[in-house]
Amino acid sequence: MFLIRWMSRWPLWLLHAFGACAGWLAFALSSAYRRRLWAQARAAGASAAQARGAVAAAGRMLFEIPWLWLRPQQRLLGDWVRWEGAERLQALLEQRRGLLMMTPHLGCFEVAAQAYAERFGAGAPMTALYRPARKPWLRDLVAAGRDRPGLKAAPATLAGVRQMLRALRQGETVGLLPDQVPPEGLGVWVPFFGRPAYTMTLAARLMQQTGAAVVLLWCERLSGGRGFVVHVRDFPPPSPDTDLEGLTAHVNRAMEALILEAPQQYLWGYNRYKNPRPLDLGGAP
């Protein structure tokens, strides 16, 4: 924790520089990680240069977390973040029917959540799904980093799912990473870049059960520690008669399109095609 708190005071450009080195070190030391990152990137159509960019981007993502999570709450992101398409988001929020925001593991998705909370959270707080860390000290760090005005956290349990349903029905916002492998029983096997991947049905269920508006976004990490740009994209409307599995596959295709906007910033080393873990039922109502 001392090291992490010390790093949180480093300038962003320095964190990104060390992070790029760490990304390449991890790539060099782990043959399994190296094979997975390279194979998944190339199978999706990323060039060799884009796959190499993703190696450094993974390290930058890790090293910017102390700066982001341990930043005092009164110190806003402010000029560190620019928006592209914020007016689209504002128009959907004004409908007051709940808003489902989806982003893949692309760029800095943690910045996207905090940037939304700062700009829109006062009128429509965001509930974001997360998986609690196993280590107690890391759980405390994650809780401190994600406990921000306008930003709520929902655990990846059945209780967390109920929390998100309530938020949408109250006209609030929910944030999801649909390319995250869900627990067993909460997904279906549908294609992701041409290969079967166990994919959460949660996004599709939330759409079907709440009638919430849906939007896509991703947060671009600018070079040289210059900050971030949040890109807002429309969600392509599915056919009205699409069933749960078809709607889940439709979400995957939308994620693929976002990822291909900047494959050099996607987390290709994430084991997207693994088997699901057992479901944590949770105890809250």
8 A C-beta contact, residue 136 and residue 183? no
The confidence score (pLDDT) of residue 281 equals: 59
Residue 99: alpha-carbon gap to chain centroid: 16
The confidence score (pLDDT) of residue 283 equals: 44
The contacts of residue 191 (CB under 8 Å, 6+ apart) are: 197, 249, 252
| Strands (E) located in the chain | 81-84, 99-102, 126-130, 151-155, 173-176, 187-192, 195-200, 213-221, 228-234
- Alpha-carbon distance 88 to 3, whole Å? 40
Cα–Cα nearest to 187, from 274, 63, 73 = 274
Distances, alpha carbon 12 to alpha carbons 44, 53, 140, 265, in Å: 30, 18, 23, 17
> Hey, what amino acid is at 53?
G
- Alpha-carbon distance 160 to 184, whole Å? 15
The confidence score (pLDDT) of residue 135 equals: 66
- Alpha-carbon distance 159 to 181, whole Å? 18
- Alpha-carbon distance 10 to 16, whole Å? 10
The confidence score (pLDDT) of residue 133 equals: 63
Q: Which residues of the chain have pLDDT under 70?
A: 132-146, 280-285
Give me the numbers of helices (H) and strands (E) for the chain, helices first please: 11, 9
The confidence score (pLDDT) of residue 72 equals: 79
Residue 180: alpha-carbon gap to chain centroid: 8
- Alpha-carbon distance 224 to 53, whole Å? 14
Cα–Cα nearest to 154, from 145, 141, 167 = 167
Q: Which helix (H) or strand (E) holds 209?
A: helix 202-210
- Alpha-carbon distance 245 to 204, whole Å? 8
The contacts of residue 107 (CB under 8 Å, 6+ apart) are: 57, 218, 219, 220, 221, 228, 262, 265
Total-model pTM: 0.91
